[in-house]
Amino acid sequence: MGPLSAPTVVHVKRPDEVESKRKDLPIVMMEQEIMEAINENPTVIICGETGCGKTTQVPQFLYEAGFASKLSTIRSGVIGVTQPRCVAVLATAKRVAFELGLHLGKEVGFQVRHDKKIGDRCSTKFMTDGILLREVQNDALLKRYSVVVLDEAHERSLNTDILIGMLSRVIQLRQDLYKKQQQMVSSGRSVSPENMIFPLKLVLMSATLCVEDFVSERRLFRIAPPVIEVPTRQYPVTIHFSKRTELVDYIGQAFKKVMSIHKRLPPGGILIFVTGQREVEYLCRRLRKASKYLVTKISKEDKGIEVTPYSQVKSDEGINMKDISEAFEINGDSSHQKTDRFSSYDEDHYDYYEDDSDASYDSKTDSELETFYEDGKTLDQKPMEDDDNLVDVLGGDGSLASLKAAFETLCLCLGKMV
């Protein structure tokens, strides 16, 4: 149970179009339950399915509840929100600033590896997990933050895992220091404002988080954090699987699968997960080209104009028209097919071939703390020779000194960064 304080409410005037769309988000209906859990517990886990709105709405819940407000002494610290990738940081910060009616780079700031926009009155800061890990080096207690939100925790990247372990210690340390300072104030001694320590809140958010690892691990959290599930989606979602998986050219296979779904299934959106921005842009370019060709083809057929065969169409920007043909050619007459159109195990009726030369992609996660050793190997390729020392330090009594020693040892293992 956190310290009691007078409730602080920050009124927000949103545009009408934002209000109309926001009320349909599933997570908005659970705002009260989420905020009650955050107020009463130091750590909260939110499991929301993709599309429920947790990434953009939870920071707004915190802002409206008085976090990062100068009117509240205990909650005056900044709201910190982490994302595993730079693109997600920029997009989320821009959207939240727009919905709150605030200025991007002033009240709502962001920081990534090579870009930073943070104003003096910044209340909400979006950043990559590596940026927050760097801040822990300079301030082990993260005194400037009142709440930290770790989004996409299910990805279990190195930075996120380290942050979860470190923040679980920081939460307890700040709580203990706050109690000691309150006892000092009660006994008549004074504490300067710059030395005041207030409790820290931690929110873990993910769509597919294995919560059992966090709830059952008593060494991580002394008290099992509550789990809030947001099971509903805005739209019904059907999941389809391929019987065969192409390991080399999975982008080409995703392209063919999208074309096949577009042809064979009823109207609806298609959500594709790939590993990096370059792959997203490449796949979108291919789909736009294919869509443009098909629209032109249908228009010409309606007017009775002869359509150029696939084989004679010029392949532009890596778009192979043979792929479109393969994706749309289904054995037999489609009007006589009686297969279940929503079956997740329908056999794909096209061959898996791809002629595009663009087969290499950069799928690295934007990690600000990626370490290379002298022999050129990264951390996951280098054996951890100081594992025993690290375990000894992390198994300390949980004091601030042991926490700093743990972080220094951790940095030493990450390539002697400190």
d(C-alpha 5, C-alpha 9), whole Å:
12
| Structural domain spans, the chain | 16-234, 238-366, 371-418
Per DSSP, the three-state class of 21 is helix
> In sequence order, which residues have a C-beta less than 8 Å from that of residue 267 and are 6 or more positions away?
none
pLDDT band at residue 397 using 50, 70 and 90 as cut-offs: low
pLDDT confidence of residue 199 = 92
Q: Which of 242, 259, 413 is nearest to 323 (CA)?
A: 259
Does the pLDDT at position 417 exceed 70?
A: no
Do 130 and 367 form a contact (C-beta atoms < 8 A)? yes
Which has more pLDDT, 315 or 344? 315
pLDDT confidence of residue 340 = 37
19-65 pLDDT tens trace: 888 888 889 989 999 999 999 999 999 988 777 889 999 999 999 99
**Pick from 66-80, 369-383, 396-410: least confident:** 369-383
pLDDT confidence of residue 339 = 35
Which residues are 319's β-sheet partners?
Answer: none
pLDDT confidence of residue 305 = 66
Does the pLDDT at position 317 exceed 50?
A: no
> In sequence order, which residues have a C-beta less than 8 Å from that of residue 305 and are 6 or more positions away?
none
Does the pLDDT at position 406 exceed 80?
A: no
d(C-alpha 98, C-alpha 92), whole Å:
10
Do 157 and 367 form a contact (C-beta atoms < 8 A)? yes
Handedness of CA 75, 80, 172, 400 (dihedral sign): negative
pLDDT band at residue 5 using 50, 70 and 90 as cut-offs: low
pLDDT confidence of residue 362 = 43
**Pick from 107-116, 279-288, 357-366: least confident:** 357-366
Highest mean pLDDT among 254-268, 307-321, 393-407: 254-268
Q: Which residue has the tokens 């190195």?
A: 158
Percent of the chain clearing pLDDT 70 (strictly above): 72
d(C-alpha 162, C-alpha 173), whole Å:
17
CB atoms within 10 A of CB 26: 18
- The helix (H) or strand (E) run that includes residue 148 is strand 145-150
Q: Which of 94, 46, 54 is nearest to 233 (CA)?
A: 54
Amino acid in position 16: D
d(C-alpha 197, C-alpha 400), whole Å:
13
Per DSSP, the three-state class of 240 is coil
What mean pLDDT comes out for the span 385-403? 53
63-103 pLDDT tens trace: 999 898 887 778 888 999 999 889 899 999 999 999 999 99
d(C-alpha 36, C-alpha 31), whole Å:
9
160-173 pLDDT tens trace: 889 998 999 999 99
Task: Give the neighbor-by-neighbor strand order of the sheet with 227-230.
Answer: 115-117, 108-112, 124-128, 78-83, 145-150, 201-206, 43-48, 227-230
143-158 pLDDT tens trace: 999 999 999 887 778 8
Do 109 and 40 form a contact (C-beta atoms < 8 A)? no
- Record the tokens describing residue 2, joined without a space: 């956190």
pLDDT confidence of residue 377 = 46
Does the pLDDT at position 243 exceed 80?
A: no
- Is the pTM higher than 0.75? The answer reads no
d(C-alpha 40, C-alpha 336), whole Å:
60
What angle separates helix 321-328 from helix 277-303, to the nearest 10 degrees? 70
d(C-alpha 341, C-alpha 410), whole Å:
53
Mean confidence (pLDDT) of the chain: 76
- The topology (CATH level 3) of 16-234 is Rossmann fold (3.40.50)
Range 409-412 contact pairs with CB under 8 angstroms and sequence separation of 24 or more: 410/162, 411/137, 412/386
What mean pLDDT comes out for the span 200-213? 81
